[in-house]
Structure 1
Amino acid sequence: MEGVILDFNLDSSTGVVRCNQGTRYNFTIEEWKSSDLPKPGERVDFVPNGEQAGNLYRVQSQAPAAAQPQAASPFAPPAAAPAQVPTPSVLAIISLIAGILGLLIFGSLIAVICGHIARSNIRDSRGALTGDGMALAGLILGYLGLGLTVLFFLVMMIAGIAGSTL
């Protein structure tokens, strides 16, 4: 695992190294495998073992030291990941469109299925997806369309039965 030395105390012969993921590990001079003493800011390769780092080796750089960009401080926290911009759920949009069309033509069942899946995906996305309102509107329109379709067929059956008895 690669990291950077944060601190080394010559008096106690102990130090602290931080891996690239930000976890800190303690080490002793006995684990340092290079010929000279460790220096804060140096890149190292090591083997983590619990909270201890073992078999520390200095990482040899490919470019000259002057050409390498330096961090402001080896003690600086790792850079934060860029903020994720939430995107609208495609299924929520499909649900809304199918719900609107379902009132006029077939599509209510698609609106209901896509609406339920979209709301579940939006809940599970931890803010990465938006469109819960569209999915809810698609669900409402879809159920309304299904209800109207069932009502239409019931009226047609009753009218057919009444017409055949005359």
Structure 2
Amino acid sequence: MLPTLRSSLPYSMAVAVAAFALFYFLPDFNWPQQVYVVIGVLLCGILMPVLLDVKGPAVPPSSAELAVDYNGDTATLYVGNLPYRANEDAVKELFQRFGVVINVRLMKDRQTGRRRGFGFVEVAAKDSAKMINKLNDFEFQERTLKVREAKERQDDDNQSE
């Protein structure tokens, strides 16, 4: 459900019930049906934005919308077999279900700029094991993710020795 629809739904229902009660209990004015439609449109078209503006959203912001300011130990997770259409926000939202996410980096091909199907997620160290357990072999956008702790990058100089 869209966030704007989710936030306005309680108010829409309240206005609909109030309009129904108003027209049900008032004496019949024998107005044409078009007048009732215009009144309904005015109620929902004018009163609804006023209510939303004054009251604010009915649903608190999700954890994906809150900024993360984490100062503890962190761990970096490797995430492989990502769908090429997945973006950083979608991956962050998925991982935030299981803990604190500090940063998401999805790798791109330098020449084409297209995603390469893997990335790294920096998370709170205390949540990393839980995320690995929950999200390794997890079905995400029709692909089975591979999640494990990232290995330190090895320089080419160290490999030749």
> Shorter-chain-normalised TM-score: which range?
under 0.3
Give the TM-score, by structure 1 length. 0.21
* Bigger-Rg structure (1/2): 1
**Quick one: higher RCO (CA 8 Å, sep 6+), 1 or 2?**
2
